[in-house]
Amino acid sequence: MFFFSHLCGMKKLTVILTALLTTFSLICCHTNKSTDDRHTEANSVYFWKTTFEPDSADLDFLKKFSIKKIFLRMFDVSVDNMTNDYDYRVIPNATLSFGSHPRYLMEEKLATTVFVPVVYITLEAIRESRGKEGILASRIVERVKNMVSYNEIPNVEGLQLDCDWTPSTRKSFFALCDSVKAQFGRYNLPWNLSSTIRLHQLSSSPPPVDYGVLMVYNTGKFNDPDEPNSIISEKNVAPYLRHLASYPLHLDIAYPTYSWQLLFRDRTFVGLMNGVDLSDEECFTKKDNSVYIAKKTVPYNNTLIYKGDMIRQENSSIDDIRSIQDKIEQILGSEPHSNILYHFDLNNFSTYTNGQIYSILNRRD
């Protein structure tokens, strides 16, 4: 009888201890996520244009909203299908040009603003680099280092890799991250390494980087003619958020502040557009809140919009952003993180009030 009572007591004690340890582990997982000591939280923007030449209005915006970090896209890594030689097949593309050296532009008003160079790597390029990740890492780091030096980019905090890796390319991308860190050591660069994190990647183990930026944009299928809004929607985001609390990597959060128009012909995606006057009732008829049908053939840049083509207008509405941001803030709780605007464009920002921009950048309890 004593043995049975003692055994029951031991079982109860074991259950209690197990519950306490589980709770402690969950708390540690949530509050001690992997991050780098050199990474600090700051109001931030992505700069995703092809030329960096901010004018006085741009600098005033950065100062007004206390933007202390600029994620600066430097170039893409893509595949040239005209050759089979890796040295010429996986190449830099769409390299950022500098109208002025950032140091002289920034030192007067934004001397403490830091830069994070970003390299976008296509899925095809990471597939082609399987087994050659060290070569790719060496070329990326050397090219970024030289661009930083030549263009006198000040206060460089680190490097970010942007890649929509999948289960089949996960191993190659993770190997690339490890190789990039090794290159930092080779060149004695005091940089940290970050990567973008897509929503679908939240359910996988994180890449070997110091922190990630969760992309809360491009959340739907832009080439689906029946998708209401591929930029951002709570319906598309919500299913992935169940993985956010347990994700073991420090995450900053990037929200969209852009709009675009998508052209479909016979329900097939044709391309992205901007600036088409869809309110012109002679040319377009409104099908619903965001979809328009061309009444006749309309010229657009160097191409044509044909009669019967469908155009979907997509926006990043403040209501959609706030709804999703509220849910993310509730999940992260007191976890420190930066909020980031994607991407820097005063024309896009002009569709929001100053208060709305502040509300995206600054955490709300």
Per-residue pLDDT of the chain (365 residues; tens, 9 = 90+): 323 333 344 334 343 334 433 333 333 444 446 555 557 789 999 999 999 999 889 999 999 999 999 999 999 999 999 999 999 999 999 999 998 778 776 776 677 899 999 999 999 999 999 999 999 999 999 999 999 999 999 999 999 999 999 999 999 999 999 999 999 999 999 999 999 999 999 999 999 999 999 999 999 999 999 999 999 999 999 999 999 999 999 999 999 999 999 999 999 999 999 999 999 999 999 998 899 999 999 999 999 999 999 999 999 999 999 999 999 999 999 889 999 999 999 999 999 999 999 999 996 54
Give the whole-angstrom CA distance, residue 24 versus residue 319. Answer: 36
Beta strand 51-52 with 97-98 is: parallel
Ramachandran angles phi, psi of 104, nearest 5°:
-75, -30
pTM: 0.88
The token pair that represents 110 in the structure block = 């934004």
Residues in the chain, how many?
365
Q: For position 109, what pLDDT does the model report?
A: 66
Q: For position 101, what pLDDT does the model report?
A: 76
Give the whole-angstrom CA distance, residue 52 versus residue 95. Answer: 11
DSSP label of 279: T
Kindly state the helix (H) or strand (E) to which residue 357 belongs, with its residue range: helix 354-361
The 3-state secondary structure of 173-193 reads HHHHHHHHHHHHHHCCCCCEE
Largest CA distance in the chain: 92
Q: Contact, 177 vs 165, CB < 8 A?
A: no
Q: For position 34, what pLDDT does the model report?
A: 57
Q: For position 102, what pLDDT does the model report?
A: 83
Give the whole-angstrom CA distance, residue 110 versus residue 239. Answer: 39
Q: Contact, 257 vs 349, CB < 8 A?
A: yes
Q: Is the peptide bond before 39 cis (omega within 30 degrees of 0)?
A: no
Q: For position 81, what pLDDT does the model report?
A: 92
The token pair that represents 281 in the structure block = 């009732």
7 exposed, middle or buried (CB, 10 Å; 0-12, 13-18, 19+)?
A: exposed
Q: For position 197, what pLDDT does the model report?
A: 98
Q: Which residue has the tokens 């309890």?
A: 365
Strand order in the sheet with 284-286: 268-273, 260-265, 310-314, 291-294, 284-286
Question: How many CA atoms lie within 13 Å of 244's alpha carbon, on the beta-carbon side?
Answer: 26
DSSP label of 295: S
Q: Contact, 294 vs 303, CB < 8 A?
A: no
Ramachandran angles phi, psi of 25, nearest 5°:
-65, -40
Return the SS3 of 86.
helix
Q: For position 38, what pLDDT does the model report?
A: 58
Q: Torsion-angle region of residue 131: left (phi > 0), alpha (psi -120 to 50) or beta?
A: left
Q: For position 184, what pLDDT does the model report?
A: 98
Q: For position 4, what pLDDT does the model report?
A: 30
Q: Which residue has the tokens 């003619």?
A: 225
Return the SS3 of 18.
helix
